[in-house]
Amino acid sequence: MENLFRRYGATLTGAFVVLTAFWLLALVILPNITLFEASFRPYLPVVDIGGPRDVYSLNNYRLFTANPVDVSFLGFGFSMPIHMITFFNTVIFSAIVTLITFLMTYPLAYYLAKTVLPQTLPTLILLLFIPLWVSEALRAFAWYIILAFDGPLNAVLAGSGLVEKKVRWLNGVVTAYDAIVIGLVYTYVLFMLFPIYGSIQSLDRNQIEASEDLGARWWQTHWRVVLPHAKPGIASGCVMVFMLSAGSLLVPSVLPSTRSNWFTQTIQSYMLESQNWNAGAAYSFLYILLCTVVVTLTMWAFKVKLSEIAK
């Protein structure tokens, strides 16, 4: 705050504080308070709202543990509520998206930060930004066309002889969520790239050269020097990609299979199709809490603080 006063003066600093407080209050705090309050109220006709039936309860949250179905995992059979299965699938595949984006972007981030020529860097950054000029909806529909049964991907694979018959990518080759994972990786990959790039860029190259001079192999240099320094950027990228993937609605809606369902689609079905906003509010608030737990565990695993991620 003192730095803001010295740099911008009392007037501009006060304006920044007021605008930030208004943004937090109007767009974060009040909507979540409303969501929280509505999640405990029953879904009633308009004439009954405020009447004797309009009482607070946990019934909307109990829906999360209702309707158990039989599932099998690693040869073991057990029962689990259908919405809980959807939630765990969403968390698991969002984590897979996060892992894939990290494996894809870490080598590229290191190349951009420590290998590429300075005069070439702006052109490469511009080329990476070009996909963001296209809306997420168009990018999702583009992947729908690419992965379609009669799409260009099958045409290339069949024409080159790599596959004997066309593959139904949208129906899941390995899992029911293959197309969704592909779409989410493509949509959010840059949210992993640039935090890692920023962290690696601040690393003194003398430390890398010292590691090499001391006889460390390339993977030892990355494991002991580069990765520890880039840990805040990696944690920031993982948090952003995971939260954006878990909260995505457009990509899972455009690229679903007959056996996939994202948890945000469950919330949408309560909010829009069933018009049960109270149950949708309960599921939304529950989703916020559970995803916050996952993010907190990620920060604990990386041993980073929120202040380091926010840099």
CATH of the domain at 193: 1.10.3720.10
Give domain status of residue 39, yes or no.
Answer: no
> What is the structure's pLDDT at 307?
65
Domain range enclosing 294: 68-309
Give domain status of residue 11, yes or no.
Answer: no
> What is the structure's pLDDT at 183?
92
> What is the structure's pLDDT at 94?
93
Q: 68-73 and 76-81 as β-strands: parallel, antiparallel, unpaired?
A: antiparallel
pLDDT, average across residues 299-306: 75
> What is the structure's pLDDT at 311?
60
Q: How far apart are CA 311 and CA 290, in angstroms?
A: 25
pLDDT band (50, 70, 90) for residue 74: low
pLDDT band (50, 70, 90) for residue 308: low
| Angstrom distances, CA of residue 117 to CA of 2, 111, 275 | 38, 10, 56
Token pair in block for residue 238: 């993982």
Give domain status of residue 36, yes or no.
Answer: no
Q: How far apart are CA 96 and CA 73, in angstroms?
A: 18
Closest of 207, 237, 212 to residue 308, by C-alpha: 237
pLDDT, average across residues 68-92: 82
The length of the chain is 311
Residue 15: pLDDT above 90? no
> What is the structure's pLDDT at 107?
93
Residue 44: pLDDT above 90? no
Question: For residues 167 and 155, is the Cβ–Cβ distance under 8 A?
Answer: no
pLDDT in tens, 180-235: 999 999 999 999 999 999 889 888 888 888 888 888 888 888 888 888 888 888 88
Give domain status of residue 52, yes or no.
Answer: no
Domain count, the chain: 1
pLDDT band (50, 70, 90) for residue 236: confident
Q: Say what percent of the chain tops pLDDT 90.
A: 17
Single pTM value for the model: 0.86
Q: Is 71 helix (H, G, I), strand (E, B) or coil?
A: strand
pLDDT, average across residues 38-62: 84
> What is the structure's pLDDT at 100?
95
Q: Is 16 helix (H, G, I), strand (E, B) or coil?
A: helix
Higher model confidence: residue 168 or residue 310? 168
Closest of 28, 56, 60, 42 to residue 283, by C-alpha: 60
DSSP 118: T
Give domain status of residue 123, yes or no.
Answer: yes
